[in-house]
Chain A
Amino acid sequence: MKVLKNLIKDSLVYLTHGRKSYHFWMAFLTFLMLIGMYSYSLQLEQGLSVTGMNDRVSWGLYISNFTFLVGIAAAAVMLVLPAYVLKDFDFQQAVLIGEGLAVAALFMCLAFIIADMGGPARLWHMIPGIGVFNFPNSMLTWDVLVLNGYLFINISIPLYILIMRYQGLTPNPKIYIPGVMISVFWAVSIHLVTAFLYQGLQARPFWNNALLGPRFLASAFAAGPALIILVLAMIRKFTDFKIDDKTIRKIALVVTVAAQINLIMLISELFKEFYAPTHHSESAYYLFFGLHGKAKLVPWIWTAISMNAIATIILLFHKLRNNFTILYFACILLFIGIWIEKGFGLIVPGFIPGPWGKIAEYFPTITEIGVTIGIWAMGAFIFSILARTGIAIELGKIKYKK
Chain B
Amino acid sequence: MNKEIKKWFSLNLGNKKQSNCGCSGSNCDGQALENKKDGISQVFDVDMNRRQAFKKITAGLMIGAGAVSTSCSVVSGDESKEKSQIEWEEYFKGNYKLMTEEEKDKTVNRLVRSYELRIGKKINISSKNAMDDVLFGYAFNISNCQGYMDCVNACVKENNQDRASEMQYIRIHEMNDGKGLNFGEADDTYYHEVPAQGHFYMGTQCFHRDNPPCVEVCPVQATWKEKDGIVVIDYDWCIGCRYCMAACPYDGRRFNWSTPQIPEQEVNKDQHYLGNRLRKKGVMEKCTFCIQRTREGENPACVEACPTGSRIFGNLLDPNSEIRWVLANKKVFRLKEDLGTEPKFWYFMD
Q: Do the two chains touch directly in the complex (Cβ atoms below 8 Å apart)?
A: yes
Name which of A51, A55, A122, A141 has the most chain B CB atoms within 10 A of its CB: A122
Contacts of B16 in A (CB 8 A): 8
Contact pattern, A 95-138, Cβ under 8 Å of B = 1, otherwise 0 = 00000000000010001001011111111011000011110011
Contacts of A114 in B (CB 8 A): 54-55, 58
Contacts of A279 in B (CB 8 A): 184
Contact pattern, A 1-18, Cβ under 8 Å of B = 1, otherwise 0 = 000010011001001110
Of B74-82, B125-133, B190-198, B218-226, the one with at least 4 CB within 8 A of chain A:
B218-226
Of B147-155, B241-249, B269-277, B314-322, the one with at least 4 CB within 8 A of chain A:
B241-249
Contacts of A126 in B (CB 8 A): 219-220, 239
Contact pattern, B 64-88, Cβ under 8 Å of A = 1, otherwise 0 = 0000000000000000000000000
A356 near B257 (CB under 8 angstroms)?
A: no
Minimal Cβ-Cβ distance residue in B for A144: B219
The 8 closest A-B pairs by CB, nearest first: A118-B240, A118-B282, A357-B184, A203-B249, A49-B258, A49-B257, A47-B281, A47-B258
Does chain B have a CB within 8 A of A139?
yes
Q: A44-B61, A119-B282 are contacts. A16–B250 as well, Cβ < 8 Å?
A: no
Does chain B have a CB within 8 A of A401?
yes
Q: A53-B257, A114-B55, A140-B217 are contacts. A125–B245 as well, Cβ < 8 Å?
A: no
User: Shortest beta-carbon distance, B289 to chain A, in Å?
Assistant: 20
The answer, among A56, A197, A203, for a CB contact under 8 Å with B339, is: A203
Contacts of B117 in A (CB 8 A): none
Complex: how many Å from CA A116 to CA B220? Answer: 16
B220 near A131 (CB under 8 angstroms)?
A: yes
Contacts of A144 in B (CB 8 A): 219
Contacts of B339 in A (CB 8 A): 202-203
A17 near B37 (CB under 8 angstroms)?
A: yes
User: Shortest beta-carbon distance, B122 to chain A, in Å?
Assistant: 27
A30 near B241 (CB under 8 angstroms)?
A: no
Contacts of A138 in B (CB 8 A): 216-219, 243
B219 near A15 (CB under 8 angstroms)?
A: no
Beyond known contacts A47-B256, A378-B51: 8 more, CB 8 A cutoff: A58-B246, A116-B242, A122-B237, A125-B239, A133-B219, A141-B219, A201-B247, A356-B188
Of B40-48, B102-110, B326-334, the one with at least 4 CB within 8 A of chain A:
B40-48
Contact pattern, A 50-71, Cβ under 8 Å of B = 1, otherwise 0 = 0101111011000000000000
Q: A16-B41, A118-B281, A355-B248 are contacts. A47–B257 as well, Cβ < 8 Å?
A: yes
Does chain B have a CB within 8 A of A33?
yes
Contacts of B251 in A (CB 8 A): 55-56, 354-356
Which B residues fall within an 8 A CB radius of A?
2, 5, 9, 16, 18-19, 37, 40-41, 43-44, 47, 50-51, 54-55, 58-59, 61-63, 91, 94-95, 98, 165, 171, 173, 182-186, 188, 204, 213, 216-222, 236-243, 245-251, 253-259, 281-284, 339-341
Q: A119-B238, A132-B95 are contacts. A30–B186 as well, Cβ < 8 Å?
A: no
User: Shortest beta-carbon distance, A194 to chain B, in Å?
Assistant: 12
B213 near A203 (CB under 8 angstroms)?
A: yes
Does chain B have a CB within 8 A of A46?
yes
Complex: how many Å from CA A121 to CA B56? Answer: 8
B220 near A125 (CB under 8 angstroms)?
A: yes
The answer, among B41, B91, B239, B259, for a CB contact under 8 Å with A12, is: B41
Contacts of A44 in B (CB 8 A): 58, 61
Complex: how many Å from CA A107 to CA B259? Answer: 29
Q: A16-B37, A118-B241, A125-B237 are contacts. A381–B246 as well, Cβ < 8 Å?
A: no
Contacts of B222 in A (CB 8 A): 125
Minimal Cβ-Cβ distance residue in A for B282: A118
Contacts of B165 in A (CB 8 A): 49
Contacts of A131 in B (CB 8 A): 94-95, 220
Contacts of B250 in A (CB 8 A): 203, 355
The answer, among A9, A200, A202, for a CB contact under 8 Å with B9, is: A9
Contacts of A116 in B (CB 8 A): 241-242
Contacts of B171 in A (CB 8 A): 356
Contacts of B216 in A (CB 8 A): 137-138
A26 near B241 (CB under 8 angstroms)?
A: no
Minimal Cβ-Cβ distance residue in A for B36: A16
User: Shortest beta-carbon distance, A83 to chain B, in Å?
Assistant: 29
A123 near B41 (CB under 8 angstroms)?
A: no
